Copies of this chain bind each other. A is one copy, B any other.
């Protein structure tokens, strides 16, 4: 089967672009007054997902993690390219993968405008493009001391699922099902990111764990932070979980794809109203400090947070 047939069969849809799949490049138009936001994420079998993972979930998540980067910038996701290496032509796999990919792309109005299909160990590389009004992007370097630190949704679910999957953490079946949904079908917080323009002073999405990712904001903004463990949004499970296990998952687990952002205290009311409006929990988990460093307080006791987050080449 020819490369072009695979693209035509699985990865081509009508899209509202100037020129779509099928030429040397696609052509799109960026609106006047907007900047183009550009990001790329690669998903590898065995590193980002298990080889036996559902292809629909692989497709959804590969696209979702890219869209999440647009959310973190306050950008409107618009266009994506897909480069995929496949060990062979497995039609049922391709059908489910492309269904998952397009389910996510369609949910967030992203058009797949091009890419590449080739033979090789399974690898999914997506590049995403979005638009943001000039000067309004949510960057990492705008936090100031004395601001609130917020996170969306709830943290640690994907990490707990992984601990269960690896056999380290027995869980009730209902818990596994809930955590699996968080792991395999993350919901990029695009509406939140758009609404945070003009309110958040810094923002990012949590992919490597709250502490590791928050540290990027602190480094870029040259501030410190003190978090309140008791304010963190924990997964609500039927299975009792040891506190140590829960702390690792919530603080350093990663794969959350929730937004972490800073905002001046004056925005508290507006953010709580926004939480209602989006039907999405927003938790105020701490504050930025003039002195550098990152501490997590559990009442009067500082947690030992030596393990900062998942590192690909650790």
Contact = CB atoms under 8 A, between A and B. Distances in A.
A238 B110 CA distance: 53
A121 interface: yes
What are the 6 A-B residue pairs with the smallest beta carbon separation, nearest first? A125-B125, A44-B120, A127-B127, A25-B39, A42-B83, A24-B72
30 contacts: A1-B313, A3-B311, A19-B137, A23-B220, A24-B70, A24-B73, A24-B204, A25-B37, A25-B39, A25-B69, A25-B75, A25-B137, A27-B35, A27-B38, A27-B132, A30-B36, A38-B81, A40-B81, A40-B116, A42-B116, A42-B118, A42-B125, A45-B120, A83-B127, A116-B125, A118-B312, A121-B121, A123-B123, A125-B127, A127-B127
B42 A84 contact: yes
B120 A47 contact: yes
A302 B203 CA distance: 64
A46 to B, nearest CB: 7
B41 A35 contact: no
Contacts of A82: 40
Given A6-B313, A38-B129, A85-B44, A69 B24 contact: yes
Given A113-B38, A123-B123, A118 B26 contact: no
Nearest to A125: B125
B121 A120 contact: yes
Contacts of A116: 40-42, 125
A119 B19 contact: no
Interface in A4-42: 6, 18-19, 22-30, 32, 35-42
Given A2-B311, A72-B24, A18 B39 contact: no
Interface in A84-143: 84-85, 88-89, 113-121, 123, 125, 127-130, 132, 134, 137, 139-141
